[in-house]
Structures are given as structure tokens and as C-alpha cells.
Amino acid sequence: MDAVVKKFPDISDERRDERPSRAEAEAAVETLLRWVGEDPTREGLRETPARVVKAYEELFGGYRQEAGDVLGRTFEEISGYDDMVLVRDVDFHSHCEHHMVPIIGKAHVAYVPDSRVLGLSKIARLVDIYGRRLQTQESMTAQIATAIAGMLRPKGIAVMIEAEHMCMSMRGIRSKGSLTVTTSFQGAFAEDAELKGRFFSLTGHRV
Ligand SMILES: Nc1nc2c(ncn2[C@@H]2O[C@H](COP(=O)(O)OP(=O)(O)OP(=O)(O)O)[C@@H](O)[C@H]2O)c(=O)[nH]1
Ligand SMILES: [Zn+2]
């Protein structure tokens, strides 16, 4: 597998060949500026297409990373610890795939180790990778759970995302402040109601 293929794991070969140039991306931003009624030649906007493309590189940088890039190392020395490991309140920003408008929220990620654990920061890195792609909240929740399952084979995984979708607050229904909650429970968390209940209470929710 060559380096380019690895950097864009979710894009088919055909689509990757069609990836537009930076100049084409900047021209597309200029078109949008004209479409909203702006004059892209005025001083304040002259550099905007280049800035937007640069910002998109950062905001959508998750397409150039894979879960394996960050979850690579696991640790086995846990002195027999066998309860849940929970990293909660991981702030993230993403963009909805329907409107390309921000999703802002928190992820709570827990697992019960079998023999190995992850470095704690790697969970936040995983949330960041999937956040920096176009998403639905459901897909992002499932992708985090699947990546941890594949890397760690733990006894159980719980992922909860609570997020505000700006496409619901800034436009459309304009329902400001509503939170969408999605969950994925696997293994011990799906089978053991007491464990699931502790996940809810540790993340500040009533069962
Ligand atoms: N299930 C799901 N829906 C989402 C997510 N993000 C945005 N949406 C919804 O995607 C839907 C797209 O609906 P459409 O009717 O095709 O688009 P629209 O006319 O812009 O819809 P409105 O937002 O109702 O104005 C909307 O109901 C959004 O609220 C998400 O992460 N998951
Ligand atoms: Zn949307």
C-alpha cells in the first residue's frame, strides 16, 4: 500500500484520483462568496479562499489519519485491574455530512480491559480523528467503538456522544440548545445492567 492510499483510507482509488487541486478548491470558495452576494475582490475577502482551504485542511484533517496511527501502542502492565476505564467529557468539534455545519459536543468512552489498556490520551485522539471528518453522530459513535474493539479486544465498550448540531440551531428548525445523545454498548456493557448503570452515573446521567 503506498503512502497516499494509507493517508486517505476511506476514499476509493477512483475518487482519490479525482481529488481537486488546491487552486480548484480555492476557486470553489470564491464561487460560494459570489453566490452569497459578496465581492471576492474586495480587500477583506481577497485572501479568504486561501484561508478557507487552509482551515478545511485542519478541520477535515481526520481523512489523512487512521485509528491505527494513534492506537498503535497498548500496555499490559495493569496489576490485575479489571474494572471499567472511562475517559469522559472529551470535547470535540465535527461537521455534519448533510450541511457541513459544526457539531459541537462531548464524547464519553469506556471499556473494560481484557489484558491490555490504551494510553488515555489515545481515546481523545481517536475522537479527534473521527471528529475531523464529515459525520453523522451515529456513525461517529459506532466508529469510535469499532476502532477500540479492533485494537484492544476488551471485555466491553461503551461510547456516548452528546452534541449540539448547529444545522438545527443556526438554521432550519432553529432549535437552540437541544442535545442529541447517541450510545453504543458492546460486550459486558450490553450484557451487564449494573455496569451500564455505573457508566451512566459516572457520566452524570440518571439510569
Ligand atoms: N440522524 C442524523 N441526522 C442528522 C445529523 N446531523 C444532521 N442531521 C439531520 O439531517 C437531516 C437532513 O434532512 P433534509 O430534509 O435532507 O435536509 P434539510 O431540508 O436541510 O432539513 P432541516 O434541517 O429539517 O431543514 C436533518 O433532519 C438534520 O437535522 C446526524 O448526525 N444524525
Ligand atoms: Zn446538518
User: Which uninterrupted H or E stretch holds 158?
Assistant: strand 156-165
Cβ proximity of 56 and 48 under 8 Å: no
Q: List, for residues 16-54, the tens digit of each pLDDT value.
A: 668 999 999 999 999 999 999 999 999 999 999 999 999
Among 92, 137, 167, the mutation site with the greatest number of ligand 1 atoms within 8 A of its Cβ is 167
CATH architecture of 3-59: Orthogonal Bundle (1.10)
Q: Which of these is catalytic: 24, 47, 97, 138?
A: 97
Would you kindly state where each structural domain of the chain is located, as residue ranges? 3-59, 74-202
Is 93 an annotated catalytic residue?
A: no
Mean pLDDT score across all residues of the chain:
92
Of 98, 136, 179, best ligand 1 pocket probe by most atoms within 8 Å of the beta carbon: 98
> Residue type at 126?
L
pLDDT at 1 over 60: no
3-59 against 74-202: fold identical: no
The verdict on whether 138 is a catalytic residue reads: no
The DSSP element (H or E) to which 113 belongs, if any, is none
ipTM of the complex in this document: 0.90
Q: Cell digits for 138?
A: 451515529
Q: Which ligand lies nearest to the CA atom of residue 141 in the structure?
A: 1
Residue 206 confidence class, pLDDT cut points 50, 70, 90:
confident
- For residues 163 and 180, is the Cβ–Cβ distance under 8 A? yes
205 CB-near residues (< 8 Å, 6+ apart): none
Q: What is the pTM of this model?
A: 0.90
CA of 166 to the centre of ligand 1 (A): 11
Distance CA 115, CA 75 (A): 9
96 is catalytic: yes
CATH, domain 74-202, list 3.60.9.10, 3.40.50.300, 3.30.2350.10, 3.30.1130.10: 3.30.1130.10
